[in-house]
Amino acid sequence: MTGTPPPYATLLAFTRYVGRTGPRKATFVSGLRRQRESGSGFNPHGTLVKALKADIQFRTGGSQLTAAVDQVRPRWRPLYEALTPGALAYLGTLGDPATVGLAQTRDALGVLGGLSIKVNPHLGLRYDDGRAEAVRLHFDPDPPTDEALLATLHLMSRHMPQVLPHADPVVVDVRRGTVHRPDPSSKPAEVERWLTGEAAAFAAMWTAVA
């Protein structure tokens, strides 16, 4: 279709797509395409991410996260009230604040099955023992699906040399304060083939004439 932008998805959009089935996939892609064409979209979670990073960087024990609930606009306060307890629980899992700090991450743009995918962690962590993590935060009311987790962790691993060299990928389910890491029993080659097929289907739906 003339004027349609090339197939593109953020990591969040693509992993939401792989968790859908049947006609819901096409409807989802069509909605993403219209959103990109119109330039619409708003992320209400930015203040929470900044507060979490500030608590880690300045070792303030969650006070920044707690304060963020009152700093956001009233319309977003219920969202922050739902997210903050889990975010505080996650902060507690990091251990001694003196042994962990922020690490600089970079976004990566990969191509898979003809689809450009932006791989963008929310934050990076570096521990005193030399470990590093690139962290994606999951904010949705429902827990991440197994498919979404597998896709997110695989794509972050795939692009880790650009994102944060030698780091491990992590997904944090913020509402529940739970941490997800790669399953050692997963087979990267099989995951890569699966995601390539999913990405090719996404790209085909994106460019199809409506």
Give me the pLDDT at residue 196, please.
Answer: 97
Give me the pLDDT at residue 83, please.
Answer: 98
Strand order in the sheet with 108-112: 8-10, 115-119, 108-112
Please classify residue 58 by burial: count the beta carbons closer than 10 Å to its beta carbon, then call 0-12 exposed, 13-18 middle and 19+ buried: exposed
The answer to whether the beta carbons of residues 112 and 191 sit under 8 Å apart is no
Residue 18 is assigned to a structural domain of this protein: yes
Taking the whole predicted model, whether its pTM rises above 0.85 is answered as: yes
Return d(Cα 194, Cα 208) in angstroms, integer. Answer: 21
Q: Is the dihedral of CA 57, 61, 65, 71 positive or negative?
A: negative
Residue 59 is assigned to a structural domain of this protein: no
Q: Name the DSSP letter for residue 110.
A: E
Q: The domain containing residue 138 runs over which residues? A: 8-41+91-209
Residue 1 is assigned to a structural domain of this protein: no
- Total domains in the chain come to 1
Residue 13 is assigned to a structural domain of this protein: yes
CA atoms within 13 A on the CB side of 12: 12
Residue 56 is assigned to a structural domain of this protein: no
Residue 172 is assigned to a structural domain of this protein: yes
Q: What is the DSSP string of 60-79?
A: -TTHHHHHHHHHS-GGGHHH
- Residue in this structure with the two tokens 């996939």, named with its chain if needed: 25
The answer to whether the beta carbons of residues 14 and 151 sit under 8 Å apart is yes
Give me the pLDDT at residue 185, please.
Answer: 93
Instruction: Report the chain (210 residues): mean pLDDT per 10 consecutive residues.
Output: 75 93 92 80 90 98 97 96 97 96 97 96 97 97 95 97 98 97 95 97 83
Return d(Cα 157, Cα 31) in angstroms, integer. Answer: 28
Give me the pLDDT at residue 209, please.
Answer: 47
Instruction: Mark out the alpha helices in 59-182 (DSSP H runs).
Output: 63-71, 77-93, 146-158, 160-163
Residue 19 is assigned to a structural domain of this protein: yes
Report the alpha-carbon angle 97-99-102, nearest 5: 80
Give me the pLDDT at residue 5, please.
Answer: 78
Residue 66 is assigned to a structural domain of this protein: no
